[in-house]
Chains A and B, each alone.
Chain A
């Protein structure tokens, strides 16, 4: 179950990153908008709140997926250790 969750986290993060433009820089939370001024030829820059995930977002998601996958291994090992005790109690 945890491995499936890890795969879902990794795929969802990768999908979101690609869908938002595959930004190879840091995550953007202020999105710049350029406004041209035809009389002067200048271009004004204003910022709006938004979210464009970057490589730090991908790294965070990969780490989270790794932790979940690692946790699944620990849980499996614990289950394997407890199984013989269960069998013994059934025989008794």
Chain B
């Protein structure tokens, strides 16, 4: 008689993993808001610009943010500065060589110092950053905001789904990525400050 109750008692246990399933967020934003801002502040010249061609996927589990993995890809050909001639130079074979190295990528491998407060999680994410065909292991601070059921509100439709907003600010050195190392540093700073503000969607 008691054995008849076992399946019923097991039902909640089966439901818990289903609720806590990790979601995959697609970062190809239909509203075109995703952008990576870069700033170079050299003694003789400051260069500010942005890249809008963001794609990639991130797997995020709201119950376990520390298990987040994923890859973000930036199309080098979308890197733009306000001066068209400078934009051409930046994308040319002398600098970023976007024809030969069309993608800038960051592949997240592990999160450390994970702190979650409500929908927000901060962490240090380690992964491989690839620029100009050179890969380096980086650890960068990241803030993840999980916006449950906000996809429809954002797109102005009946779509059901969640959003994941990633924010990060960090610096790299162009010399580390073999971009004219040690040259023209008075005009083109070796240090590049990057600000990431991107959103991914997970439909249901």
- B34, B87, B163: the one contacting A30 at CB < 8 Å is B87
Q: Which of A2-10, A31-39, A65-73 contacts B (4 or more CB under 8 A)?
A: A31-39
Name the B residues within 8 Å of A31 (CB-CB).
82
A binding-site residues for B, Cβ under 8 Å: 25-32, 35, 37, 39-47, 52, 54
Contact A42 B165 (CB under 8 A): yes
Contact B165 A28 (CB under 8 A): no
Which residue from chain A places its CB closest to the CB of B165 in the assembled complex? A40
Q: What is the total number of residues of chain B having a CB less than 8 Å from a CB of chain A?
A: 27
Q: Does B35 contact A (CB under 8 A)?
A: yes
Contact A26 B150 (CB under 8 A): no
- B37, B81, B82, B163: the one contacting A39 at CB < 8 Å is B163
Which residue from chain A places its CB closest to the CB of B198 in the assembled complex? A42
Bitwise, B74-94 to A at CB < 8 A (1) or not (0) is 000000111111110000000
Residue pairs across A and B with CB atoms within 8 Å: the count is 65
- Asked, given contacts A41-B165, A42-B165, A42-B198, whether A28 binds B50 with beta carbons under 8 Å apart, the answer is no
Q: Once the chains are docked, how many angstroms separate the CA of A40 from the CA of B143?
A: 13
Contact B154 A37 (CB under 8 A): yes
- Asked, given contacts A32-B50, A45-B50, A46-B52, whether A40 binds B147 with beta carbons under 8 Å apart, the answer is yes
Contact B33 A42 (CB under 8 A): yes
Q: Once the chains are docked, how many angstroms separate the CA of A42 from the CA of B50?
A: 14
Q: Does B161 contact A (CB under 8 A)?
A: no
- A25, A28, A29, A35: the one contacting B46 at CB < 8 Å is A25
Q: Does B104 contact A (CB under 8 A)?
A: no
> Separation in Å of the B103 CB from the closest CB of chain A?
20
B binding-site residues for A, Cβ under 8 Å: 31-35, 37, 46, 50, 52, 80-87, 145, 147, 150, 153-154, 163, 165, 197-199
Q: Once the chains are docked, how many angstroms separate the CA of A54 from the CA of B198?
A: 31
- B35, B80, B85, B87: the one contacting A44 at CB < 8 Å is B35
Shortest 9 CB-CB contacts between residues of A and residues of B? A44-B33, A28-B82, A39-B154, A29-B84, A45-B50, A42-B197, A37-B33, A40-B199, A26-B83
Contact B80 A47 (CB under 8 A): yes
> Separation in Å of the A48 CB from the closest CB of chain B?
11
User: Can you give 13 contacting A-B residue pairs, CB < 8 Å?
Assistant: A30-B80, A30-B83, A32-B82, A39-B154, A40-B33, A40-B154, A40-B165, A42-B35, A42-B165, A43-B35, A44-B31, A44-B33, A54-B83
Name the A residues within 8 Å of B83 (CB-CB).
26-30, 54
Name the A residues within 8 Å of B80 (CB-CB).
30, 47
With most chain B CB atoms within 10 A of its CB, the pick from A28, A30, A31 is A30
